[in-house]
Amino acid sequence: MANRSGWDREGQRALVTGASSGIGAATAAQLAARGYQVHAVARRVDRLDELAAATGCVGHVLDVRDSAGLVALVEHIGPVDVLVNNAGLGRMDGTLAESTLEDVVSSIDTNVTAVMVATMAVLPAMIDRKRGHVVNVGSMAGLYPLAAASYGASKGAVHRLSTNLRLELRGTGVRVTEICPGRVSTEFYDVAITDPVQRSATKDSGVDEVTADDVADAIVYALGVPAHVNINRIELQPTEQTYGGSRFDKVNREG
């Protein structure tokens, strides 16, 4: 009889990007604690060393925007059972009209291209073995309108990639899950908001935020359900946060 229990993942190989802090570090730690051989990818060697010492994971210093390096890493470590595409960034304190070319290119290269390249690299072995799981960390910004067009567009691409992969992978045994957090207490806003006053106001909103461990819990849940179940998407946000409503702003055409 097939094993229909959740956790029979001992010794499986997991690749987690953006693992030096926040959601990535929490996910790497939880997967290592459950017996996965975790390969953690990030740019900060000191953070990776700390994570490896604490969890036993294998750290790889790499900028995910290095597409050739990302493909080479997958070839080096061998078949991946679980890919967690977590690395991401974005500007949240300005409009697209106020963005620089570097802002736009960096967002797309990190949030979209790297996700597609990493997924492309791991899928052939997953399909051959008729098992595997791709977890894409998207955002509520990719599902609902927010005044962050560049970031929202990149995460919207992650959402559509996730849904379309489900169609492409039908009949292969490979699962795809999209995790869409709202506000999470991580270092994200340290990079996303450049103005110190706005950054402080945003970070000190008084809202009881979702934690990195909360998001890691959701990822672990999606991975742990029986193989015949696919968790398509999980949305999670603070209880005090929601999206919706409408706005009307009159344009002053005088002058």
Q: Which residue numbers are catalytic?
A: 151
Closest by CA to 90, choosing from 68, 116, 108, 67, is: 108
User: What Å distances lie between residue 6 and 21, 39, 82, 137, 221, CA to CA?
Assistant: 27, 22, 14, 21, 9
Can you say whether the dihedral through the CA atoms of 152, 88, 222, 178 is positive or negative? Answer: positive
Strands of the chain (E only): list them: 13-17, 37-42, 58-61, 82-85, 132-137, 174-181, 184-185, 210-211, 233-236
Tell me how crowded residue 57 is: count the other CB atoms within 10 A of its CB.
23
